[in-house]
Amino acid sequence: MDGVSMTSRRKILVIDDEPDVVCYLSTFLEDEGFNVLTARSGSDGLAEARAKVPELITLDITMPGISGIEVLTSLRRDPLLMNIPVIIITGVSGFEKLIDYRKVRPPEGFLQKPIEPETLLEMIFKLLKPEI
């Protein structure tokens, strides 16, 4: 399966409060053929996820209001959204210590900022379920 047919129209939600990061990731992923949804806060991200049910979510940790940890926790508790793969993209070192894995399933992927786009793409391909 080539890149375009793998990514065509597949929905990815980018949640990050930094406008430049949202612009970067959304442009890059759209260029790769994905249908990209964006949200600039945790609460908007949750609302967008519930409304449009993406196939994968990239999630920042440090955001005003609802943090990425709280978003991850809410996603995992929502029957509609609990199986969506989540890639944490953050500049926070050692964020893993902030999550209680006895209560929340760990994110499927984790990337440190600054972002390596090829690494992100590779991770997305691994995590997206093949289309039937």
Question: Under rule CB under 8 A, which residues in 86-105 are in contact with another protein?
Answer: 91-93
Closest separation in Å from C-beta 126 to another protein: 22
Q: How many angstroms separate the CA atoms of 102 and 4, rounded?
A: 38
Q: Does 28 bind another protein (CB under 8 A)?
A: yes
The Cα 39–Cα 35 span in angstroms is 14
Q: Does 40 help bind another protein (rule: CB under 8 A)?
A: yes
73 interacts with another protein by CB under 8 A: no
Which one, 35 or 62, has the nearer CB to another protein? Answer: 62
